[in-house]
Structure 1
Amino acid sequence: MAADLPATSREILLADTPGGLPGPEDFTITSRPVPRPGPGQVLVRNRYFLVFPGLRTLIGDEADGMPLPRIRSGDTLFGPAVGEVVAAGPGVPLHPGDAVTHLLGWREYALVAVTDCAPLGDLLPDPVAHLSSGSAAYGALTRLTGVRPGDTVFVTGAAGAVGTLAGRIARLLGAGRVVGSTRSPAKAERLRVELGYDAVVVPAAGHGPLDGQLAEAAPDGVDVLVDNVGGEQLTAAVRAARRGARFALVGALSGQLSPSRGGGSSPAEIDTFRLVGQGISLHGYSGQDHPDVGAEWTGRFGDWLRSGEITFPHTRIPGMDRAPQALQGLFEGRHFGTVVVELPPR
């Protein structure tokens, strides 16, 4: 092991399987020996890792069928991360100092198979931007719904990691009007002022019926839906849809983050008569089904960031110790945009 590397690495483990939404008390931080890379492996010092709602499903009891393994009591959490190679095994094309992305976040040092990490390159001006969820919004809008000039696009959960990018992407693709939803009036104002949403509905007590709000925000109806929430917001979007509307379901946070559910189901009541009568198409978006989207999105995202046509709203949480609280804040809707934990350089 290189002399400048520590003997141990801290990791965040699931201490106990919670009965509902996990809280900071359900996690623990432990130290383990820093491993030595073997053939086909690199040791990566993580600098940033993503805090994402999918952890709720992986920790819950409804994770069957997910593309990622379930997290059980005693397991280290994982997820997208950006880091620097600090040691490489024999025959590996990466070298110390190379910046990479991989899926072993929630730890200071990660032993990663070289086939499971990707060099960052220089397409994006900020390494943290590689942790954006914009590829889901871009893929949904370009592969499932399309955006025609003048379309009205409705983005549910617009203040989240996908939604804060989806509205601007829709505009850049030709949308004439962009409407969002968020349960926070303060976030609604930020969506309008900072991200250019034309109108924002607030599906929360004291703000009026959602159908009425949506009719005012989109008086001509909705042509395209990027749905991150499901539930009552999907129900309302179907009622507001114009003929030939195209719906892309990217997430289902209303059920996924419900304390009374297991994290892997999200029932919604949909008027199927209206789907048929209005010729509405409704598709679920999965990045696995569109492997070409990632590279295309990264190229366009980099160009848009450099030109100032798009921004990357995100919150950086400093320090491993604050990661469990950052996850709780995500579940409670306290953050705006993408949430990442930033680890100090050594």
Structure 2
Amino acid sequence: MPRCSKPTRDDEAAQRHQRRAASKPYGLSRRRPGSQQEKPKISREAQDKIQIAIQNAWAQPTLKKYGASLEAFLRFCDKENIPDSQRLPAGEVLLCAFAASRAGEIAGSTARDAIAAVKAWHVVHDADWNGGLRLKYTLRGVEHLAPSTSKHDERPPVTAAMLDILERKLDHSDPKDAAVFAAACCAFWGQADLGELLSTAQGSYKQGRIPLGSDLKPPPTRLGSRILRLPYTESKGARGEDAMICRQQGPSDPIRALANHTAINDIEPDLPLFAHRNKRGELVCLTRRKFLDRCNEVWARYGVSTRTGHAFRIGGTTELLLAGVNPDVVQAMGRWKSEAFRVYRETYIDLLAPLHAEYIGV
């Protein structure tokens, strides 16, 4: 008979492990097999509410951008003859292939946005997401391979001098111009994105997304500043935040601009704060597009290049930093959640310092 070999230390350790596992009814986790995969049975009504909530997790501009990226992903799958069953959920190899499909042609941020769109699609359909370490390094490689032509120049900010131009050239007795100037001053000195103040829909607005007349809190503070409630912000969502609109010396004082605007347009508490009366005396919502068109129309006469919505927030932050306001105060006033806002000082200081010096009379 063959002789039995003496158990090794590894064999003894394995036997001890088996005995410990056997002493517990469902293994080390004390869970029944398959319990992690089981989902609670909930009503159709509850499922529908989950779906509605998830579909409203992204802002409309983001969804529009994601829609184009998802179409690109599906076209890529068609080109590669990927079966429908392998598109959702998509394996990591497919995700990497899509991310790398335009390497050397696009910016890294473009590839990341496209992958984010595909991920959102998976979330909406409750499909497993298989993006992992390999996808992470693929996206990093796409970023390193991005051509110089794919990198946009830094968006130039609005400056205090540009607000002074608006103050001189807009007609402050005109309802629309009064609303435009008040919105410009509040966006700049309140360090607010235009999407937090103005509607993006043509001729209408979405409840709970932009300030109403009642969101401009009375009475003014002891120093004359006002609190403006922002019902929806990018960082806090529907919880909203309070923006401090501080009185300023000079032509672009937002408190004076608000007083003129609300008096001329007779803003009602339950309608958008930044609205204006039309020829029939009806309040018309000032949209982001109409606001930017009017501002850029005035600035173009002075050779100023077109500005975008975010340029107001960038400009207000930079102006305050250049004026020597404590960065911690700027961060708190601008509701910045990270140190990223300090980059604006480094990015624009060489560009704006001469203009700032001229503006304050140095």
TM-score range, shorter chain: under 0.3
- Whose helix proportion is higher, 1 or 2? 2
Q: Which has the higher contact order (CA 8 A, sep 6+)?
A: 1
> What TM-score, normalized to structure 2?
0.26
- Whose strand proportion is higher, 1 or 2? 1
Find the structure with the greater CA-based Rg. Answer: 2
